[in-house]
Every structure is written in C-alpha cells, then in structure tokens.
Amino acid sequence: MGFRIKRKETTTEAVRRVTCECVEKALGDLNHGDGLAAVHSVRKEIKKARAILRLVRPCMGRSAYRKAARDLREAAQDLSPMRDRLVTLQAMQDLRDGLRDERGATPFGNLVSALRQRCRQEERRFRRERVVKQAARILVRSAKCLGRLSPRKKGWRALVAGLKRSYRAGRRAYTEVIAEPTPENLHEWRKRVKDLWYQLRLLRRVAPGELENRIKDLKALSDYLGDGHDLFMLQETVGALWRGVSQADELGALRGLAERRQDRLSCKAKAIGKRVYREKLSKFCRRIEGYWDNWR
C-alpha cells in the first residue's frame, strides 16, 4: 500500500500499517530471496520501521517502545556481520574501479581476493548457524508487537514531538561534524539523517511539491555519508588483514586513495547538510504542521 500516510487513515492506523508492511517485506526477502543478496534489503526495511517507531516514541509508553525497538534491533544485529563484509568488499571494488598500474593490471588484487574469502567464510557461518531462521523468528514476533502499537496522542500531535527530535538531533550532529569530522561523528550524523529521510517520506503526500527536494537532499546526504563510512570500515578491515611489512606500501597507497575519496564525500555531505538544516527547528515544524493541516 506504500510507505506513506493516507489521508483517510488515522495516525495510529498509518503507523501500524507502515511498520508492519516493512517487517513483512523484510520477511519476504529473507525467506524467499538469496540469503546473502537479501541482507541489504532486509536491513533497509528494518531501518524504515525503526525510524517510524522513533517518530511516535515520545507519545508511547516506555516499555512498549523498548519492546518493539529491541526486536527490530536484534534482528538487524543478527544480519550485520554479513552486511559489513559485503559492503567492505563493494567499497574495495568501487575504489579500484578505473585504476591500472604501469602494466595495465588492476591493483590490490590480493586484497580483493582476501575480502572475497572473508565473505565466503561469513556465508558458510551464516548458513550453518541458521541466522536467517533466527532473524525471521524475531521479525514475526516484531510484526505482532508493531500491529498493537497505540500512540497516546492522535493526528499531528502524535508525530510532532518525534519529528522535532529527529530534526534537532540531525542538526546537532551536523554541527558536531563541522567542528570535528571524525568517522564516529559522521556515522552518527548519517543515522539521524536516515531517520528524518524516512519520516519525511512517510509524510510526502502531505505536500509532495514542497517536501520532494528536501527528501532528495536527505537521500543524497545519506548516500555520501554511507559511502564514506564504508571506506572507513574498509581501512579498518585492511589494517587487520595486512600486518606484514611487505604489504606496508600497498596499504599506504590504499589508505591514501580512501582518505582522498572520503574527503570529497565529506565536503559534498557538509554542503548538502548546510542546506537541509538551514531552518530553525521551530520554523521547520510549523511549516510541516501547516502542510498537514491543509492536507487533512
């Protein structure tokens, strides 16, 4: 039915429907797709459900929120080792695209082979330990919990506090990145960006023309920050894999390439962030509330 609030449904109905649809989509991908290829899609659906859960968190009971959030987080964590190894390999392949040495060969071949071997090892563990079945059981339990969600407020009042929280947290994280662009600060910012991105996508029908550009900016911002974090993970992984002196030069070259690309991605992210978070919190929320009132 779509990742959006419909005009004729209540906020509670919308939150239950959308989060349950995310979990059902995750279950379908997990049970019927290729286990490894489906990991990214499953984690994406879980993140969408978690972002909507955070949207109504301020008007939910603490225990109800914690139970729903715990199940979603646990399912995602079961899949994270496979996801980490896949994105590290993809980051390596993207980094070496177009590179050739003086003999016309693509560099870092040994490293790519080592990263592929890590993926195969994780795939064997993934299937041997029945991670898919375990994650599926948790998601089934989560769907039942999400289907009973009952925010204590109705209409816009059920959403405004969570939206304020997401925008404020993203704005604060952006400020921290400007002051100190560490990998940890950039990664924390990305999590807050994704929350707001999914939440505005839920509200897209409220004012499609006005919200579309903000949604596109948040998507691009999330991608830049995500690519940068994947490169950070690649460097951490390579540092653990290659500890020998004979590989020091190749490791240095790889880190130089990764850091230069990270700098470019960080500059692009900060430029978009300045545009996305230029409004004061109060003005941003009043504007979205005005769209909501007109739409309803």
Asked if 18 and 3 count as a contact pair (C-beta separation under 8 A), the reply is: yes
Coil, strand, or helix at residue 170?
Answer: helix
CATH topology assigned to domain 1-154: CHAD domain (1.40.20)
Asked if 92 and 108 count as a contact pair (C-beta separation under 8 A), the reply is: yes
* Residue 240 confidence (pLDDT) above 60: yes
**pLDDT score at 250:** 75
**pLDDT score at 181:** 94
Evaluate whether 1-154 and 159-296 have a shared fold: no
Q: How far is CA 281 from CA 55, 179, 202, 219, 284, in A?
A: 16, 20, 19, 20, 5
Asked if 153 and 196 count as a contact pair (C-beta separation under 8 A), the reply is: no
* Residue 231 confidence (pLDDT) above 50: yes
Residue 217 pLDDT level (bands cut at 50, 70, 90): very high
Show the tokens assigned to 238.
Answer: 């390579």
Task: Read off the DSSP letter of residue 106.
Answer: P
What is the rounded average pLDDT for all residues in the chain?
A: 90
pLDDT tens digits, 15-68:
999 999 999 999 998 888 665 667 888 999 999 999 999 999 999 988 889 999
CB-neighbour burial class of residue 171 (10 A; exposed 0-12, middle 13-18, buried 19+): buried
Mean pLDDT computed over 100-124: 75
The amino acid at residue 238 is V
Pick the CATH number of 159-296 from 1.10.20, 1.10.3470, 3.30.70, 1.20.120: 1.20.120
Query: Where along the chain do its domains lie?
Result: 1-154, 159-296
Mean pLDDT computed over 206-231: 96
Show the tokens assigned to 147.
Answer: 């289907």
Task: Please choose, from the candidates 135, 94, 33, the residue with its C-alpha nearest in 3D space to the C-alpha of residue 223.
Answer: 94
